[in-house]
Structure 1
Amino acid sequence: MQSTGDARLGVKFADLLSPVQPSSPPDISSYARLPEPTTNIEQVKRDLKEFGYGFVKDALSPEQLAVLQNRLKDQAEGEVSAGVAYFDGGPKKPNQRIWNLPNKGQEFLDLLSHPLVDQFIPDFLGDGYHLSSYTANINRPGSKGMGMHTDQITINPAIPQYPLGLNLMWFLTDVNEENGGTRILPKSHNGLVAPDNIFDIAGTTFASGPAGTCLVFESRLWHATGPNVAKDGERPVILQFYVRHFVRPQENFTLSVTPEVVAKASDAAKQAMGFRVTATLGGVEGFRPDGTLVNRPENPIMALKTDGSRL
């Protein structure tokens, strides 16, 4: 059944029914500083802890940047031509999203082995982390943006005191407020904080950085795709959302990634796509030692007769 009425009142009503009662976010004008792009990884980690996000400058080399720009552009045009493209961003749907990037080119597989993954993800999410989603968002002029949300909002039971995921957002062009830089509520990851109106970006800041920057932000941070008021151009970004080993992913990569892609993927990519056993989770045909990389069994044990033959 489709709901009618004021969506903002509906959100407030749902909040009142929740056992968790969030407080209003602080005024960001009171902050002495906000995170800025830097090549100092330790500073980015400090920003992530204090603000819920940080920026790694020059995360992609010019060569890596060019390769990813070209592959994403070709893929986007190809999906339009094939009639399988997905659009959103308001009534006119100017934005294009590309899903399940492991299937879309070696360039995207290679990005799963980028050094930043090892520098941030294991320390933040622990052993056995995997991807929840791996997508691209091409934000174009006219986009109305999104409502404010957290990437942990769909995980039940709600555990706002504990981060379950971490995002790596790769800027494939210069990103700023005008071309739809992600809107952010700094420090909204700490404590029980939520915006007063998820449909209003007043009081937020925006992600800004040169092409090649990586925005690192955790799953409890309130954020949204920003409205794109630029006259031309587009704002393509790639998003890798990693989660703890026990969180079910948004994309079921073990089914959606083709066997041909899995066969050529690195160990890091296979772990990211969910092919690694962690503790007693993720095994195939029963127990497998922790850390084992598994595949679909070629000869699974089926229903058998007492003599061992197939039923």
Structure 2
Amino acid sequence: MQPSSPPDSNTYSHLPEPTTDVDQVKRDLREFGYGFVKDALAPEQLAALQKRLKGQADGEVAAGVAYFDGGPKKPNQRIWNLPNKGQEFLDLLEHPLVEEFMPDFLGDGYHLSSYTANINRPGSKGMGMHTDQITINPAIPQYPLGLNLMWFLTDVNEENGGTRILPKSHNGLVAPDNMFDITGTTFASGPAGTCLVFESRLWHATGPNVAKEGERPVILQFYVRHFVRPQENFTLSIATDVEAKLGDAAKQALGFRVTATLGGVEGFRPDGTLVQKPEKPVVALKADGSRL
């Protein structure tokens, strides 16, 4: 069956709204492909993440390593590989919502594909509509291969670039006629501290920012099933000193956990084993056991 053109978003009898009822968010996720957890971040954690992300963004500009996008003038700044960039980001990997959603929707052994931040600023032109499952092959449409947690570090609305969403497009029955046409979409909206949860088959896009001032920073954790190759190769890109202080939940998230027969080091390791780079890997040897 070919997907149909999007209906007008006003035709829906209701759409997901921020709520503290996690079970309702799960129902929204299954029906619409997305949902909002209100007050997901405690005030002190929200403040710590705001401060650390701002500091990192300014530091990357000063060091000449900042990455910008969002249109010809490139007003937006993206921060990659957040585990290396502050304890605050490692702490967020331990947030209860990770364990609340990931096993239900992705099964055992889920891990991070990417962990980034997007600072959307006035003048941003937004993105083309897409699904996060497009880059995963084979593109299995029957169930989600990934799930996003988007953490709002400020109030998010249509004006400041709230993510455009095509409701119910995760089921394959609705798709945009043109990736640059936002007909039928709604926008992510919620107060600072909200977590937008959406699955990888949902059509969505960063919204244009038409605000006159300020910025819209969000943190994105994209988790995938255990057999999906991640976008960021965390087992190589994590700094040595950061790896040394990872907790078990962070190690699983970053790909250091064996699931079934996948992810072992030096051959088979029991399911659930947390691995690390061996200090003395087995290399080419002579018949007497000495190194070749």
> What's the TM-score once normalised by structure 1's chain length?
0.92
1:88 equivalent in structure 2: 69
Q: CA deviation at 1:21?
A: 4.2
Q: CA deviation at 1:207?
A: 0.1
1:22 equivalent in structure 2: 3
Alignment of 1:137-152 (within 5 A): 137-152=118-133
How far apart are the structure 2 equivalents of 1:192 and 1:152?
16
Alignment of 1:1-311 (within 5 A): 21-311=2-292
Instruction: Say if 1:277 and 1:289, in contact at 8 Å, map to a contact too.
Output: yes
Instruction: Say if 1:160 and 1:192, in contact at 8 Å, map to a contact too.
Output: no
Which one is further off, 287-296 or 149-158?
149-158
1:16 equivalent in structure 2: none
Paired AA for residue 219 in structure 2: I
SS at match of 1:137: strand
Instruction: Say if 1:139 and 1:234, in contact at 8 Å, map to a contact too.
Output: yes
Q: CA deviation at 1:167?
A: 0.1
Paired AA for residue 130 in structure 1: H
Runs of 4+ in structure 1 deviating by more than 6 angstroms, as ranges, are none
Instruction: Say if 1:161 and 1:192, in contact at 8 Å, map to a contact too.
Output: no
How far apart are the structure 2 equivalents of 1:155 and 1:118?
23
SS at match of 1:264: coil
How far apart are the structure 1 equivalents of 2:260 and 2:11?
45
Q: CA deviation at 1:191?
A: 2.7
How far apart are the structure 1 equivalents of 2:287 and 2:150?
55
Q: CA deviation at 1:203?
A: 1.6
Paired AA for residue 291 in structure 1: G
Instruction: Say if 1:121 and 1:166, in contact at 8 Å, map to a contact too.
Output: yes
SS at match of 2:39: coil
How far apart are the structure 2 equivalents of 1:41 and 1:162?
21
1:9 equivalent in structure 2: none
Structure 1 unaligned regions, length at least 5: 1-19
Q: CA deviation at 1:194?
A: 1.5
SS at match of 1:34: coil
1:10 equivalent in structure 2: none
Which one is further off, 157-166 or 131-140?
157-166
SS at match of 2:229: coil
State, as a whole percentage, how many aligned pairs show the same letter. Answer: 87
Q: CA deviation at 1:123?
A: 1.0
Q: CA deviation at 1:192?
A: 4.1
How far apart are the structure 1 equivalents of 2:91 and 2:71?
33
Instruction: Say if 2:8 and 2:183, in contact at 8 Å, map to a contact too.
Output: no
How far apart are the structure 2 equivalents of 1:189 and 1:150?
9
SS at match of 1:236: strand
Structure 2 unaligned regions, length at least 5: none
How far apart are the structure 2 equivalents of 1:224 and 1:239?
13
SS at match of 1:189: helix
